[in-house]
Amino acid sequence: MRIDVLSLFPNMFTPMRESIIGKTIERGLVHFQVTDFRDYTDNKHNKVDDEIYGGGQGMLLMPQPIFDAMDAIEAEAGSRGRVILMDPAGKTFNQAMAEELAQEEHLTFIAGHYEGYDERIRNLVTDEISLGDFVLTGGELGAMVVIDATVRLLDEALGDQMSAVDDSFSTGLLEYPQYTRPADFRGMKVPDVLMSGHHANIATWKRKEALRRTYLRRPDLLTDYDFTKEERQLLKEIKAEEANEI
């Protein structure tokens, strides 16, 4: 996969070369490049923003530097790929979107700053993505979040590819509780079933506890969830158990 980012602050992306994402770059699974689109300005002051026609607060990013930077990426890579604009008005990012983006061969992110973008920049864009109902100082952090969530889903990105399959939201449920050694830490014990070696019982426990955590913390996720017959029975048990806890 090739990932390009257009940003005025390329140094903000230094952390992308650490941890799992950094390893995918080192191993050649991902070609990652950040382009400072200020380098493509055609004015002597290297301005990338200007006042808003019709009046308004702040400054808008001008189309010319971004269009020219995009042309340069296309000339080098042979395409622009799927072009993602990080914008508060975009579609809210989720795990399903990460899984979809992970299937692409080339992603290009436009991470803006200041008041916003000249509307004509959207003509370059295939997707507009937001992290949620809040505003950041720029699109860099949002782009990093989307890139991280996407790249970790690539084949061979994680040591155990089933780690991604079992992630929260990938199954439609939050992830079940997990434990490691010691079995008893300050009186807090690992559930006996996890040390029983009985794989069927362990699988049932995991499914039930994933349902329990989702029911207690994110019940909205269960609204459109496609329950199996076993899961409906487990949820019935959970509701009864939690009612008795009150």
The Cα-based distances of 107 to 2, 102, 143, 211 in angstroms read 6, 9, 11, 34
Handedness of CA 224, 225, 229, 230 (dihedral sign): negative
Q: How far apart are CA 40 and CA 33, in angstroms?
A: 16
Q: Annotated catalytic, 152?
A: yes
242 catalytic? Reply is no
Phi, psi of 231 (to 5 degrees): -65, -35
65 catalytic residue (yes or no): no
The catalytic residue among 65, 87, 152, 212 is 152
Among 39, 68, 167, 175, the one annotated catalytic: 167
Residue of 63, 88, 128, 207 marked catalytic: 88
Residue 238 CA to residue 207 CA, distance in Å, equals: 11
How large is the C-alpha radius of gyration of the chain?
A: 23
* Tokens found for residue 155: 């084949």
Single out the catalytic residue among 115, 128, 166, 231.
115
Name 189's Cβ contacts closer than 8 Å, sequence gap at least 6.
183
In the residue annotation, 4 being an active-site residue is answered as no
The beta-strand segments (E) located in the chain are 2-7, 31-36, 49-50, 60-61, 82-92, 106-110, 116-117, 127-130, 184-185, 188-189
Which residues are catalytically annotated? 88, 115, 152, 167
